[in-house]
C-alpha cells in the first residue's frame, strides 16, 4: 500500500444505469477505493468487469433487486468484515471491510425516512430513527480505527441546507434527526471530515433534487453525504473534496462523490 490512500463515496442511484459517469469519475479522480450506495442491483448483475478494467479488482458487494444496495471496489486488497442489518429487515444498506493497514472502512446507506417527520404517521421515519439508534449502539462499542462513509440522509448543520428555516419540517433536516445524528457523532467522538476541511458556515452541499429545472441556478442543495473518522484516523486525513461538476454530467445521480485523501 502506498503512503497515501484516497477513498471516495458516492450514492450513485443505480450503478448500471450510470456506469459511464462512474467510469469517467474513476479515470479522472483515480481513488484507491470507491464506496457506492444505492447500487440497485443484485450481485450477479453488478458491472464488475467495468471496474476490473479500471484496476478495481477487489470488490465486496451487498446487493438486492431494484432497491438499496452497497458496494466497495478497490485497487488494494481488502477483506470482508461485516454486513450489519441496522434496518432490522434484511435490506442491503451496509457493508464493511478491513484494509491491510488495519483501517476499518464502513459503507452505509441510511434510509431516507419518507416525507412526514412523524413516526406515528409514517413508519419509514420511525425506521430511520431506529436505524440510527442501532448505529449509536455500534459506535459506542468501536475499538478499532474506523472510517464511516456514505449517504446518511441527514444534513445536520444550519449551513448544510439551502434554507434552514424552510427545511426545519422537511425530512433530512428536522430537529429530531439532527439531534439523533449528534448523539451518534458523540458516541464515538467521530470527526466530520467534511466540516473539518470546509468549516461552517462555508457552503458545502452533496445533493440537489431532480425536481429543479436548473439545479445549479436554484442551488437548493443539502449535505446528505458524509465521511466520519475515528480521531486517530482523522489525524491522517490531508485533503477532502466534493465533486460538484458530476451533478451536471450525462444521466447524473442526484448526489455527487466525496473524496478524502489520507497519509498513513
**CATH number of the domain that residue 34 is part of:** 3.60.10.10
Domain range for 50: 4-263
Give pLDDT tens digits for 22-59. 999 999 999 999 999 999 999 999 999 999 999 999 99
Strand 237-242 and strand 258-263: the pairing is antiparallel
Q: Compute the distance between CA of residue 23 and CA of residue 19 in angstroms, rounded to an integer.
A: 6
Q: Compute the distance between CA of residue 197 and CA of residue 191 in angstroms, rounded to an integer.
A: 11
Task: Return the pLDDT at 223.
Answer: 98
Burial code (b: 16+ CB inside 10 Å, e: under 16) for 170-187 equals ebbbbeebbebbeebbeb
Task: Return the pLDDT at 81.
Answer: 85
The model's pTM: 0.97
For residue 7, pLDDT beyond 50: yes
Reduced 3-state DSSP string for 64-112: CCCCCCEEEEECCCEEEEECCCCCCCCCCCEEEEEECCCCEEEEEECCC
- Based on the structure, what is the number of domains in the chain? 1
Task: Return the pLDDT at 3.
Answer: 83
Q: Compute the distance between CA of residue 238 and CA of residue 240 in angstroms, rounded to an integer.
A: 7
Q: Compute the distance between CA of residue 77 and CA of residue 99 in angstroms, rounded to an integer.
A: 7
Give pLDDT tens digits for 128-172. 999 999 999 999 999 999 999 999 999 999 999 999 999 999 999
Amino acid at each position: 500500500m502506498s503512503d497515501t490512500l484516497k477513498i471516495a463515496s458516492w450514492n450513485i442511484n443505480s450503478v448500471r444505469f450510470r456506469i459511464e459517469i462512474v467510469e469517467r469519475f474513476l479515470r479522472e479522480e483515480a481513488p484507491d477505493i470507491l464506496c457506492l450506495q444505492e447500487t440497485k442491483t443484485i450481485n450477479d448483475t453488478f458491472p464488475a468487469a467495468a471496474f476490473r478494467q479500471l484496476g478495481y479488482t477487489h470488490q465486496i458487494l451487498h446487493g438486492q433487486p431494484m432497491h438499496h444496495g452497497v458496494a466497495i471496489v478497490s485497487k488494494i486488497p481488502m477483506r470482508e468484515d461485516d454486513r450489519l442489518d441496522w434496518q432490522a429487515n434484511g435490506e442491503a444498506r451496509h457493508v464493511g471491510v478491513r484494509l491491510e493497514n488495519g483501517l476499518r472502512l464502513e459503507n452505509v446507506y441510511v434510509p431516507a425516512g419518507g416525507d412526514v417527520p412523524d413516526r406515528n404517521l409514517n413508519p419509514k421515519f420511525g425506521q430511520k430513527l431506529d436505524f440510527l439508534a442501532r448505529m449509536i449502539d455500534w459506535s459506542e462499542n468501536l475499538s478499532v480505527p474506523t472510517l464511516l462513509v456514505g449517504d446518511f440522509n441527514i444534513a445536520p448543520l444550519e449551513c448544510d441546507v439551502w434554507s434552514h428555516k424552510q427545511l426545519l419540517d422537511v425530512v433530512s433536516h428536522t430537529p429530531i434527526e439532527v439531534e439523533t445524528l449528534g448523539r451518534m457523532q458523540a458516541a464515538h467522538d467521530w470527526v466530520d471530515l467534511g466540516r473539518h476541511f470546509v468549516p461552517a458556515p462555508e457552503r458545502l452541499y452533496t445533493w440537489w433534487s431532480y425536481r429543479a429545472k436548473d439545479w445549479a441556478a436554484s442551488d437548493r442543495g443539502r449535505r446528505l453525504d458524509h465521511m466520519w473518522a475515528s480521531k486517530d484516523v482523522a489525524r491522517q486525513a490531508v485533503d477532502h473534496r466534493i465533486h460538484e461538476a458530476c451533478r451536471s454530467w450525462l444521466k447524473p445521480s442526484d448526489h455527487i462523490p466525496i473524496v478524502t485523501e489520507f497519509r498513513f
